[in-house]
Each structure stands twice: as structure tokens, then as C-alpha cells.
Structure 1
Amino acid sequence: MTTTSVPGELPGTTMSDEAYGVLRASAALWVGTSVLITNHVGQVLVQHVDYRDTCLLAGGAVDKNESPAHAAARELVEELGVTATVDQCLAVDWIAADSTGAPAAMRFPGEILYVFDGGVWDEDRIGEIRLPPSEITGIEFAEPARLPELLSPTDARRALSALRARINAAGTVLLENGLPLAATVLDRLAVLQTARPTYRYPWHHGPAPRNLTVTQAWAWLFAPDGRVLVLLEPHTGIAILPGGTPEEQDQGDPVATLRRESDEEAAAQFENPLLLGHVTDPAGRRGYLRYAAALTSVGPARPDPATGHTYTRVLATPEQATELFDWGPAAADQLAAVHEARQQLGLPRAGRQPVTELDVLTPITELPATGL
């Protein structure tokens, strides 16, 4: 046969089939799979195993003449006792031979590892898990920020990259040693690597009772295409909605608080604010108001006078936004109220799409008002 696949050889070099086979075999890599599974609050399923001191995602080696997707589904049955369709690939990772610290006796040649989306498992599906008698000693659903302490460094990088790829909804991403070749804004800011602030408070429709002290007012600010403005802290990647704490100059008006904080944090202005409801702390003494409004303009980014930070401003669907927060089961109720307000504002429901870093060169009023 004629091939130019041999480094340093000129075009037209002739090789026998046997020689070509030997050459390709010498460059062979292992092939493996992982399955990223989360629960309804965004925690990731990890497995404790009896053969290493770090945890793993579900998955394993691809057998001879087996496809990666089939291997991933097989491993779910063998490791968790659960039958599931595995047909969405989040990431493909090239793992260098010298990147894992594998012992020399293992003769690790490097690996191509496919990370599949196992989806969001509800309590019924989680209840179906049956562990094998050996290898898997336990499972837990861990906060994304805990993955670096539970998994090996490469495994943790890969899992977080795959989780961001799932949120970003941009299709399968290519990784090298767990890091994306083309980093998104979520990767660049290491979103989810720092613990999400926890506000697992009950959701209440309507205004806060008079005896409740309002300590925050945040807003879901809608662009014309149905996405919302989310702020990412530059040093931690922590996500927040525009808004903040009332100050004396607001004169007890939460909308005035919203306008001031949205301008200070994001140079954002809005109209037609609608009160969605509020959440309360466990003691029932403090309230956090939630509004929805239509964005009218966003100016150049500048430091927030309260923190000195210049937030990175992104547009995301409301569903993507909630994946960046740790609001617990009540997040679903708030999300329903958000979409009800969106309809009242006459805005479309945004289809799932990549998170977009807001560029002030594109006026907010020129964003396409399209959705599902």
C-alpha cells in the first residue's frame, strides 16, 4: 500500500500491510468512557471504589470491538445496576501517557476517553441503584466544587469541563488532559470550581409580609431573545443575579435598590419590573425579593463600587442560570414564576444555546428576539 502517514517519509512511500499495521499498533491508545450524572440540584454522582484512593465517575474501559456508547451503557448496568440510554457525548479527552502518574508496569500508552451525558436522575432513578459485590463500595452526589478533592486532578478537570459543556449546550467539546482546546467563558472563569453560595430557602409568590426584613432584591433581567443577564465573579466564577442589599439612599424602595445595584454591578438599565415573589431564611425573619424586568441597555463594564470587582456579564437561558446556583428544590418553583413573568413581558422562551459573554458593541436592543 502507499501512505504518507509515516513521520518524515516522502509522499508515495510504499509499505506492506503488515508494516503499516505494526506502525499503527505502536501508536495505539486505550479507549475509555465516563458518564456524567447529576441529581435535581446539580450535584454530580461519584463512585467510591476499592482499588484506588480517589473516586471516579461511572464508566470504564471499552472492550474489543465495542463502541464507546455501548461500553458506557454496559458499565452503568455493571456498576450501578441501572439500564439507561447513552447517546449524548459531552466531551472527548486526549490523555497523555505521562499525565496520570500510572505505574510503569501498567505500560499506559495514553487514552481517548469519552464523557457521556447520563442526564439528571430523580429520586426514583437513584433508588434503582444496586451496587455490585465488589469494586464499587459506595456512591455520593457531590457538589461540583468538591470534585477536585474527590477525584484525581485529571479526572476532576475532565468532569468539570464536561459539566460546563453540558450547561453551555454547545455540543461535544475536545479536551486535552481534561482541559478544553477552545475555552468558553465558563471555562475561562472556572465556573463551578468554587462552591456555589447556598440559598435553599422556600419560595413564596407575591410580596413579602410587613414583618419580614427585606435584605436583598435581585432581578431576572430579560434580553429581547428571552435570555437573562447573569454576572460572574471574575476571581471565582461564582454566579449572581443583578441586585443587592438596600441602602439608605433607596428610601425603602426595593425597585430603587435594583436600579442602583444593576447599574453599579452591570451598567444595566431596565423597565417594567414585575415582582415575582420572595424567599425566606430558615428563621423566617429575612426576605429576599425576586423581580423580573426587560433590559433596555447595558453600558461598558466597570468595577462595582461595593466590591471593586468588574463582573463578567453573560446572557443565559433561565434554565442555564439556575444550574449555576445552589437554590435547592425550590428553584423549580422560582423558575416557573420567571417564565410566567416572561410571558407577561411579551418575550419569547429562549431555546437552549451557548452562554454568551455580553459585548457592549452589540446593543441589547439589537439582539434577535427569537426563541422556541
Structure 2
Amino acid sequence: MSTLHHGYFTAGLDADPELAAAIRGEESRQADGIELIASENIVSRLVLEAQGSVLTNKTVEGPAYARYYGGAEFADAIEALAIERARRLFGARFANVQPHSGSNANAGVFLGLLKLGDTVLSMNVAAGGHISHGHPATLTGRDYSIIRYGVNRETERLDLDEIRDLAREHAPRMIVAGGSAYFRAMDFAALRAIADEVGAYLMVDMAHFAGLVATGLYPDPVPHAHVVTTTTYKSLRGARGGLVLWNDPALSDRINYGIFPGVQGSVMLHAVAGKAACLGEALRPEFRAYNEAVLANARALAQALGAQNVRIVSGGTDMGLMLVDLTPRGLTGEIVAKALEHAGLAVNKNQIPFDPRPPEAPSGLRLSSNAGTTRGFGTAEFATIAGWIERVMQAPQDAATLAEVKDEVVALCRAFPIYPER
């Protein structure tokens, strides 16, 4: 063997000490800290091994069984398996599992179904919408005419009358539902009726509640929407990536071409294998039990926080995440999020609806029960977490308090280990 390749196929992570130190640091952070960020979860060893497999070496373009490159026999089988599992899990006729992310899935649908400059009616990011639905800083915001709807000021919930009025006024080509910080049940049948009235497509982004949809614990958008997008992590607790579902065969070519070659090139086959793995896990009976626990834990956390003079936006939650308003405590999300991170609790700051404060220092925090439930926490543990959040809020600048909470967090985490043999 050439000396140029000495150790190439045998040396592991220790061959790169700087990289090894950073990765092992992240392993320790995850093992000894509590993840409350709604966009994160903890995958199984099965998903880790599928994504870290030799599929990393294989390049394919185009749909399964119609590739532009040869040597795709097993690549085709893996993608076909992921598609079949996605269709079965969500009861959809068609699925595309190639999107590299949820944002790519959304951009591909926009490109496939719309013309540049078409009008899109979507949820304002300030009210809980997602940036990939037309935020001015994104391609979707640049390339399409975006009209934004929000939530009712009193209920902090979707106002179907407002959405209907805006749709009638602006005649959008597409209406987008779903967001990153909206956590109440949605009436997809009513949204479809509005879309049909004005001749629009209805697209639902269910990234934050796909796991609940898969297990019958949240309203199902698939029978009502023209197209549904999701990520495959978050509530599906799987590989990072995106997924598109639809039922109308007349849309198939347009959606598929919107993804490839529209917004991306070759398939990240190792990620598709990870998606196949997590979709297979989601088809098992225990996945419903997991999602039932996600809901119970989120509601326990919301109730415990509410008892501590922390206002829960809209008064509660219908999924595994919530938005808390720190205004009654005289604090900002930026201050509390940084303090909680020092205490071993990872959260993200977030604007609340009609927030008078800027995104950089908003009035709220977004919290999730997804990852904690994955590692085995129950309602008692989430009540304890609420108590830790309260202690940090009382003294966000006190290093001794943060260190004390951190020690207690580590102790709880070690009672619920992840990847214990690593």
C-alpha cells in the first residue's frame, strides 16, 4: 500500500485530535445537559449507524430506479424503502425523501408549484411562522409576493376570518400553514376550504408536529392539504433532513422536479438511510407511547411554569413545544437563555406574538419536551425542570446558583444516560 494512504482506511477519529476533542465535547454536552430546544431531538443508535455508514461514499442523482449514475442498486432499494415507509406512516399516495432539510423541501414545493412573483399567504414569523415560508431574508421571500397573516391578539391563536379575508383580497396562489412557534391545533379542513374558494394550493409544514400526526395525536393535514412538508428530526426524532408528501398524481412531476434539479443536486444517501431508519421506528407501536408522553410532559412543564408566574402564550399547548412570556418577570429571553445554558439547560430565545422587543432580545423562550422524553423523562422530571428554570430566573446573574443547578442537572442526566456504551 502506498505510504500516501497509510492508515486511510483504518485510522479513526483520534487521527484528528482537534476534531476529536470538539466532537467528544459535544457528546459530553448532550449526555450531561438537558435539551429543551424545539428543533432538536436525540436519535437512536440505529439512525446514527445508518447515517454514518458507507453510504456516505455513494453519489446518486435523480429518482430511485432512474438514476444518472451507475452502481445504484442498493441506493435505489434504500430510497424506495424510505418512500414506502413515509407513505405508510402518513397515509399519503406519494413521497419525496430527498430534501436535505425542511427549508429545501419548502423551497422545492414553491419552485415546483409556483411561478416567480406569485402571491403566497403565509404566517408571519413574528407570530410563529417559519422563515422558509417567505421571510424577506430568504429566497422564498425574495422570489414571491408574500402576504402575512398572524394570530388574534386576545387568543393568540389563528384567526380563520382574517386568513379568509386576506385570501379573498389578495388571491394567493398558495396558502401556507404551520410554523416554528405556533403550537395549537389547526383546522386543516377550514384552511383547505379557504384555499379552494380562492383557487390556491394549501401547503402545510408539519415539521414540529409530524410525530403527533403519525400517531393520531394531532389533526392530520394529509387528507386536506395539496402538499405537506416536514423535517424528519424534531418530533419524528430521526435523521436531519426533509420530506414531502402529497396525494394528487398531477402534482408529482412538478414537486419532484422542484426538489431535483430545482433546489438541490445529488441525494445525501446516508441521510436518506437515516430517514428510512427513523420512519421504520415511527411505524412501531412504541412510537405512539413516546408521543403520548411528549404531550403529557409538555403540559406538565407548562402547568408547572404557569404556577410560577410565567405566562404560557395562548394558555397552553397541543404539541410538544410551548412559548413562554417572560414579561411578567421583567426578564428577556436573551438573558434567561444564556443563564439556563450555563446551568445545563439548552433553550432558545423567541419573540412572542405582538412582541414589543426585537428578535435579538425578545420577550419569550421556546421550550420543548421532545428530547427529554426521548431520554426517558416523565412528568415528575419535567416538573423538576420547571423548578430549575424558576431558580435561574430568580438569579440569572448568580454564578453560584447556576453552578448548583448545573450539578443537579448532571445528576438527573446520568440517571437517564444516552448512548451509554460510547
**Category of TM-score, reference length = shorter chain:** under 0.3
Comparing both structures, which one devotes a greater share of its residues to helix?
A: 2
TM-score, length-scaled by structure 1? 0.28
Structure ID, larger Rg: 1
TM-score, length-scaled by structure 2? 0.25
